[in-house]
Amino acid sequence: MKRRHLFASIAGMILFPAQLLSQTISSKQIRIINPFPPGGTTDILSRIISSGLQAGGQGSIVESHPGAGGNLGLQIAAKADPDGNTIAVIPIAAAISSSLYRNLGFKLTTDFRGVAFLGNMPSLLLVPKDSLFTSIEQVVSYGRKNPGKLTYASFGTGTSPQLFMELFLNRYGITAIHIPYKGAAPALTDLIGGQVDIGFQTATSVLGLVQQGKLRPLAVSTKERFELLPLVPTIAETGLPGFDAGVWFGVVAPAKTPTATVNKLNAEINKILKSPDNQKKLMELGVSYKPMTADEFNTFVKNEENKWAQVAKLVGIEPE
């Protein structure tokens, strides 16, 4: 009898893997908010995380709440209970928006806390295939000799391609005329056609066009070279040491989510992203993964918000 009671007592203390994960994070289903339309990068990353949580025995669901440039979904996430059951996947646009809008309905660095860094997507500095420019040095030389004659394309005022370019121009002390388009497709069409001189586009979105010879890449925007175009130098290598402007993604939670819960989520998300299958998926997306602690990512987000606020002010973009 004593042995039977002892065994029952020990058995009651044993936790199977699914139970361990459930107690580590939450016994409830985790809601992952994607603030952009289904099918995009934030949605794909949300589903990678959700699948990983489910494989570990944690209930998880992805909710897409597109609208207002991602701000609608983040308003919903900011108002959620800070119990660890709601997280949101954000892109760099969330940090940029703080400089562009007065009434977002949330403040990124006060209404949220960083949970995990998901990766960085490089952009390419591009010129048309028939451009006279074959290097950044030539672009800079032309810009200095012909102030205000260079033209560049972006997806619209306040988008990352504009701010990346303005940071680049400012660091070199040259100017160019901004041609904003209503989306990536028309900006890309006119860049290919030579209606504009230069522009930034995310590397994976234009890889095929570069390989077909329809666009000429001059440099990569991030600190590291793009794995699929290893011969293209970084901007930092071509004269601007420390230049780093990538389209990054991360996970945030409501600000009052307990630190212990955030740290456990961080550990689980990093574990999911480190798996060989997910590393392959990230590479196919063009996302370079670098694990960060929750505190490191929180600091990163604050630095990014300050960085792009300064660039927006430099350009003269007034908050709406």
Are residues 123 and 201 in contact, defined by beta-carbon separation less than 8 angstroms? yes
| Nearby residues of 62 by Cβ (< 8 Å), 6 or more positions away | 32, 34, 43, 46, 47, 50
Predicted pLDDT at 69: 83
Residues belonging to the chain: 320
Q: Domain of residue 288: give its range.
A: 29-120+246-315
Residue-wise pLDDT for 171-230, tens only, equals: 999 999 999 999 889 999 999 999 999 999 999 999 999 999 999 999 999 999 998 999
In a domain, 84, yes or no: yes
Residue-wise pLDDT for 108-145, tens only, equals: 999 999 999 999 999 999 999 999 999 999 999 999 99
| In the predicted structure, residue 17 carries a pLDDT above the cut 50 | no
Same structural domain, 271 and 223: no
Name the pLDDT band for 7 (thresholds 50, 70, 90): very low
In a domain, 309, yes or no: yes
Same structural domain, 218 and 302: no
Dist. CA 66–CA 154, nearest whole Å: 21
Query: Residue 205 maps to which CATH number?
Result: 3.40.190.10
Name the pLDDT band for 105 (thresholds 50, 70, 90): confident
Are residues 92 and 252 in contact, defined by beta-carbon separation less than 8 angstroms? no
Q: How many helices (H) and strands (E) does the chain have?
A: 13, 10
Residue-wise pLDDT for 261-307, tens only, equals: 999 999 999 999 999 999 999 998 989 998 999 999 999 999 999 99
| In the predicted structure, residue 4 carries a pLDDT above the cut 50 | no
Same structural domain, 179 and 106: no
Predicted pLDDT at 304: 95
* Domain endpoint, select from 213, 238, 263: 238
- Average pLDDT of the segment spanning 152-173: 94
Structural domains in the chain (count): 2
| In the predicted structure, residue 1 carries a pLDDT above the cut 50 | no
More confident residue, 32 or 107: 32
Name the pLDDT band for 25 (thresholds 50, 70, 90): low
- Pairing mode of beta strands 215-220, 123-128: antiparallel
Dist. CA 123–CA 226, nearest whole Å: 9
Cα-Cα end-to-end distance for the chain: 75
Burial class (CB in 10 A: 0-12, 13-18, 19+), 106: buried
Dist. CA 187–CA 203, nearest whole Å: 15
More confident residue, 10 or 211: 211
Dist. CA 292–CA 11, nearest whole Å: 36
In a domain, 23, yes or no: no
Query: Residue 268 maps to which CATH number?
Result: 3.40.190.150
Enclosing H/E stretch for 189: helix 184-193
